[in-house]
Amino acid sequence: MNTSRLTRAPLALPVPTLLLTLALLAVAAPRLTAAVTASAAGVNSITLTWTAPGDDGVSGRAAQYDVRYSLSPITNATWASASQATGEPAPAAAGSAEIFTVTGLNSGTTYYFAVKTADEALNWSALSNVASGTTAVAGDASSPAAVTNLIVVAPTTTSLTLVWTAPGDDGAVGTASRYDIRYSTLPISNGVTWNMATQLVSEPSPSPAGAAETLTVAGLAEATTYYFALKTADEVPNWSTISNCPSGITAADAAPPAAVVDLRASSGDADSTIDVVWTATGDDGLLGTAAAYEVRYSRTAISESNWSAATLWPSVITPLASGLEQRVTLTGLQPGEVYYVALKAYDDAANVSPLSNVDTGVAKYGIASDVDPDETLPGGYVLDQNFPNPFNPTTSIRFSVPAAGRAELTVYNTAGQEVTRLVDGALAAGEHTVTWDGRDRTGYPVASGVYYYRLAAGDQQHTKKMVLLK
């Protein structure tokens, strides 16, 4: 083989300059030709495509190509024995797309191809990648028929189903070899839009000509229009033209999250707080993950009718996956007060769950452990030590208020949780006495231990300690 295809006139340069020039020309070889592909095949030909390298690396324009083919994979060791193609194109500028059809091949045969590139000093690149292609079987030039009745049915929020009639291997006869099915949010009407469309993975094998084909395309976005098209190939492969291009719209998400049914509210660890705990619900019922929670609280009972009137907890709550424990701590509450708490869940389509169960909690009240039972209360307020103390089962508490108005006398345990409320309403000015029978607000007897009672009246709050012994 003649490795030099270029004949150059002698250089009219002084000898030292000529030698230097030749030395420089011998330094930089073109970069190896990459991404060689066998893009199409005929009965006796295969078309190759690649990106042109440069003269020096990836710059400039190379001088020539050497394209070779073989019945077995080409390596550096087998390059010399591979057949050289005829009629190779002159290299285009670096980065240009090159197309070259190798002819004179046998039908129904697999060939391997590789390329080297040279500059004008005959510096040769390294061996390109090796591409393979199979020529068509002689006599089979008939492509499968184009599908013309592709339709889209059965929309869900994440899927659409395609239905069509299988074409044949040759027109509408026989059984084709494979499908290429693609989808896009834009119509697929030509080669450009076809190449831009997304190809499905795991496409089904064609059924015999005339059979009904059905395929569900999943993983789609909700409430979105999608366009579909397909091509069919035989074993050569001869490809059909693009099918008709129907469209379908995925359904909008109409399934709300399920209602939370196990919300629990209790006094928090810090003063003026309530801990709220529940099991996370899902995006659709109990499936998936909700998008947001809306937690509200109120001093009065919460229902659907007064939901919007309850106070919204303003902090963002990041939903956890369905089934996990979710919690939030409400802060800035009135210590010792009873609060009703409930919530709703939202998905990313703004579907809202029903109202959760409603629970109550008492805002943590920080009680000093060193209360002086003999302290003198300012402003005419008097809170006496209970008598007897310790007691079992009842004790009396006496107090005085200097003016008529609302007053509360509340019993707490050592955790700051409200046990019962002995007074809650308007009182006349003067001295008052109430009796506690050692029962909580539900009527059940409480355990032995230390308890605190707090008087809240006017702008005053005062607390004393008592002991129940059983």
* CB-CB neighbours of 309 under 10 Å: 10
Asked if pLDDT for residue 6 goes beyond 60, the answer is no
Edge-first strand order for the sheet with 405-412 is 418-427, 405-412, 449-457, 460-468
* CB-CB neighbours of 313 under 10 Å: 19
Query: What is the tens place of the pLDDT at every residue in 405-446?
Result: 899 999 999 778 899 999 998 888 889 999 999 999 999 999
What pLDDT score does 415 carry? Answer: 77
What pLDDT score does 27 carry? Answer: 52
- Report residue 336 as tokens: 């010792």
Question: What band does 4 get if pLDDT is binned at 50, 70 and 90?
Answer: very low
Distance of CA 84 to the CA centre of its chain: 52
Yes or no: say if 66 and 1 are a contact pair by the CB < 8 Å rule: no
109: burial class by Cβ within 10 Å (0-12, 13-18, 19+)? middle
Q: With CA atoms as reference, report the closest residue to 85 among 46, 34, 51, 123.
A: 46
Mean residue pLDDT across the chain: 87
Strand partners, 208: none
Asked if pLDDT for residue 375 goes beyond 60, the answer is no
Asked if pLDDT for residue 105 goes beyond 60, the answer is yes
- Report residue 46 as tokens: 């295969």
Backbone angles phi, psi at 176, to 5 degrees: -70, 170
Q: What percent of the chain has pLDDT over 70?
A: 90
In angstroms, the CA 132 to CA 114 distance is 9
Q: Higher model confidence: residue 349 or residue 297?
A: 297
Strand partners, 183: 198, 228
- Report residue 300 as tokens: 């009065």
Asked if pLDDT for residue 465 goes beyond 70, the answer is yes
Question: What band does 318 get if pLDDT is binned at 50, 70 and 90?
Answer: very high
What pLDDT score does 112 carry? Answer: 96
CA 352, 250, 191, 41 torsion-angle sign: positive
Yes or no: say if 174 and 209 are a contact pair by the CB < 8 Å rule: yes
What pLDDT score does 159 carry? Answer: 96
- Report residue 351 as tokens: 């579907």
What domains lie within the chain, and their CATH numbers? 15-134 (2.60.40.10), 151-249 (2.60.40.10), 264-362 (2.60.40.10), 378-468 (2.60.40.4070)
Backbone angles phi, psi at 319, to 5 degrees: -65, 140
154-161: average pLDDT = 94
- The 10 Å CB-count burial string (b at 16+, else e) for 162-181 is bebbbbbbbeeebbbbbbbb
What pLDDT score does 43 carry? Answer: 76
Edge-first strand order for the sheet with 225-233 is 198-199, 178-184, 225-233, 247-249
Question: What band does 271 get if pLDDT is binned at 50, 70 and 90?
Answer: confident
219-226: average pLDDT = 94
Yes or no: say if 461 and 455 are a contact pair by the CB < 8 Å rule: yes
- Range in 11-20, 62-71, 132-141, 338-347 the model is least confident about: 11-20
Q: Give residue for tokens 């452990």.
A: 369
Distances (CA, A) of 457 to 263, 399, 408, 428, 460: 33, 11, 6, 11, 5
Q: With CA atoms as reference, report the closest residue to 280 among 227, 346, 375.
A: 346
What pLDDT score does 3 carry? Answer: 41
Q: Higher model confidence: residue 288 or residue 10?
A: 288
What is the DSSP-derived secondary structure letter of residue 324? Answer: S
Asked if pLDDT for residue 203 goes beyond 70, the answer is yes
Strand partners, 464: 453
91-107: average pLDDT = 90
What pLDDT score does 365 carry? Answer: 65
Asked if pLDDT for residue 52 goes beyond 70, the answer is yes
In angstroms, the CA 183 to CA 354 distance is 37
CA 89, 91, 96, 102 torsion-angle sign: positive
Cα dihedral 390, 396, 397, 399 in deg (nearest 10): -140
- Report residue 160 as tokens: 């659409």
Q: With CA atoms as reference, report the closest residue to 268 among 247, 293, 297.
A: 297
Asked if pLDDT for residue 180 goes beyond 90, the answer is yes
